[in-house]
């Protein structure tokens, strides 16, 4: 075999024809070169639960932000004669969806009692006869807006702050930590309450106060992780090889921080929604007649014993939202974590 090789002539080396060129890659034993993001997306797609969560979230976002298309009634139109009607979907005769409700031990047709005629509300009405379905869509939007803005601040500010503090170290770190420590030493709810009292209750006040308080945890965790990573071999190696600090931060630190960042981000969203709901609960949140999931749950829980649907539906939407965010967060973490790369 080896001897024969010497006998090859120039003719043996004909250039590959155009059609055959494509087959060249067949010989390669390598995955296609993917960017970090492409690679993560590929792995995320494999995670069924995360994909379901993503689809759910997309649906919820569309429903919420285009609620004016889907809502069956004006979310703020009152009709006290049709107040507190249970859910009714025409054609479905299952308790809970047929417009009947338990009252002092017996089931009565609430729609007939209220002379509702042809009106029907698929998730029922609230204490002023407003359509609960439309209000939930509307409320979801408000809650999402608040949560997204809070998360944006969390990311934009918290991560940069954390990396800077941990990476530079020394006096800068000490100073930055002192600032964080002072902010952390006031429970953020108290900060929010104080801010809202000064700014007067309303959407802007809530967003501002959540924004001001939400980035701290992220910054702290990112810093802790940075400190830990800073002394690890691969960072030291990169340093020794003379990589610039910025490059190290983005290329080496950030991917390794992603799990912490994403987990924490996934905590921020429910936390932000929770705080909004909480502020509404104690009476300084979103003001009437606006609604958020928080105010809806609040209104509903007062009558939970008699009109359970008024709390259950907004609570379910809120929980689905949260669960979806959480599962997607988990999926993203697995996908983004360099250590789990195949």
Partner 1 sequence: MKINSLAKLGGVVLVTGLILAGCGSKSSQSKKQEINWSTPAAISTMDTSKMIDLYSAQVANGTNEGLLRMAKNNKANPGVAKSYSVSKDGLTWTFNLRHSKWNNGDPVTAKDFVFSWQRTVKPKTASQYAYIFANIKNAAKINAGKMSPSKLGVKAEGNYKFVVTLNKAQSYFKYMVTQPEFFPQNSKTVSKYGNDYATNSTKNSYNGPFILKGWNGTNDTWKLVKNTKYWNAKDVKVKTINFQAVKTPSTGLNSFNSNKLDYTTLSGTLAANNKKNKAYTVFPQASTSYLEFNQKKIKALRNVNIRKAMALAIDKKQMVNKVMQGGDITPKGFVPASMAKHNGKDFASQAYVKAGTDYDLKEAKALFAKGLKQEGKKSLSLSLLGSDDDDSKRSSEFIQSQLEKLPGLKITVQSIPFKSKLSRSESQQFDLVTSAWIADYPDPSNFLDLMTSNNSYNDGKWSNKQYDALIKKSESTDANNETARWNDMVAAEKILMQDQGIVPLYQQGQAALVRSSVKGVQAFTTSPQYDFSKAYVK
Partner 2 sequence: MAKYLGKRIFYIILTLFIVTTITFFLMKLMPGTPLTNQAKLTPTQIHQIYKQYGLDKPVWQQYLVYLGGVIHGNFGTSFQFSNQPVSYLISSRLGPSLIIGGQGMVLGVLAGLIVGAVGAIKANTWVDTSATIISILFISIPSFVLAVLLQYYLGLKLRLFPIADWGGFMYTVLPTLALAASPLAETARFMRTEMVDVLSSDYIELAKAKGLNKVGIIYHHALRNSLIPVVTIIGPLAVNIMTGSMVVENIFSIPGIGEQFVKSILTNDYPTIMGLTIVYSAMLCVVLLITDIVYGLIDPRIRINK
Which positions lie near partner 2, rule CB under 8 A?
Answer: 178, 181-182, 184-190, 193-194, 197-198, 217, 220-221, 224, 227-228, 231, 259, 263, 267, 270, 274-275, 277-278, 281-284, 294, 297-298, 301, 304-305, 311, 315, 318-319, 321-323, 326-327, 330, 333, 339
Output the smallest distance, CB 219 to partner 2, in A.
12
Beta bridge partners of 225: none
Shortest distance (Å) from residue 338 CB to partner 2: 12
The answer to whether the CB of 334 falls within 8 A of the CB of 42 is no
Site for partner 1 in 274-303 (CB under 8 A): 283-284, 287-289, 301-303
Q: Which does 278 bind (CB under 5 to 8 A by kind): partner 2, partner 1, none?
A: partner 2
Residues 213 and 242: their CA atoms lie apart, in Å, by: 37
Q: Is 204 in the site for partner 1 (CB under 8 A)?
A: no
Q: Where are the alpha helices (DSSP H) in the chain?
A: 2-6, 18-21, 36-46, 48-65, 67-70, 110-113, 132-153, 160-168, 170-184, 188-199, 203-230, 233-240, 245-247, 254-281, 293-302, 309-336
Rounded (10°) CA dihedral 153, 158, 159, 165: 150
Tell me how many degrees the CA angle 37-39-43 measures, rounded to the nearest 5: 115
Q: Which is nearer to partner 2, 78 or 303 (CB)?
A: 303
> Mask of contacts with partner 1, 133-172, x by CB under 8 A?
----------------------------------------
Question: What span, in angstroms and rounded, lies between the C-alpha atoms of 110 and 89?
Answer: 13
Contact flag: residue 118 with partner 1 (CB under 8 A)? no
Among 7, 31, 104, 118, binds partner 1 (CB under 8 A): 104
């Amino acid at each position: 075999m080896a001897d024969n090789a010497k006998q090859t002539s120039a003719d043996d080396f004909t250039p590959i024809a155009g059609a055959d060129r494509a087959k060249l890659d067949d010989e390669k034993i390598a995955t296609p070169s993917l960017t970090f993001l492409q690679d993560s997306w590929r792995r995320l797609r494999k995670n069924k639960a995360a994909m379901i969560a993503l689809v759910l979230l997309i649906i919820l976002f569309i429903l919420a932000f285009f609620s004016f298309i889907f809502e069956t009634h004006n979310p703020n139109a009152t009709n006290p004669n049709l107040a507190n009607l249970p859910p009714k979907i025409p054609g479905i005769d299952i308790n809970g969806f047929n417009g009947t409700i338990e009252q002092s031990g017996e089931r009565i047709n609430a729609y007939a009692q209220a002379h509702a005629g042809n009106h029907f509300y698929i998730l029922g009405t609230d204490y002023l006869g407003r359509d609960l379905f439309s209000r939930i869509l509307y409320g979801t939007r408000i809650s999402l807006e608040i949560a997204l803005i809070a998360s944006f601040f969390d990311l934009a500010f918290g991560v940069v702050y954390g990396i800077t503090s941990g990476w530079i170290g020394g006096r800068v770190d000490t100073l930055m930590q002192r600032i964080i420590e002072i902010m952390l030493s006031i429970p953020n709810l108290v900060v929010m309450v104080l801010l809202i009292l000064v700014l007067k209750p309303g959407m802007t006040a809530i967003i501002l106060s959540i924004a001001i308080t939400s980035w701290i945890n992220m910054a702290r965790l990112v810093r802790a992780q940075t400190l830990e990573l800073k002394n690890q071999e691969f960072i030291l190696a990169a340093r020794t090889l003379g990589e610039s600090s910025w490059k190290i931060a983005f290329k080496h630190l950030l991917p390794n921080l992603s799990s912490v960042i994403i987990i924490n981000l996934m905590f921020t969203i429910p936390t932000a929604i929770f705080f909004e709901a909480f502020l509404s609960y104690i009476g300084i949140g979103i003001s009437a007649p606006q609604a958020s999931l928080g105010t809806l749950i609040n209104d509903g829980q007062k009558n939970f014993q008699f009109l359970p649907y008024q709390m259950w539906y907004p609570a379910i939407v809120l929980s689905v939202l949260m669960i979806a965010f959480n599962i997607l967060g988990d999926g993203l973490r697995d996908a983004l974590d360099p250590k789990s790369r195949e």
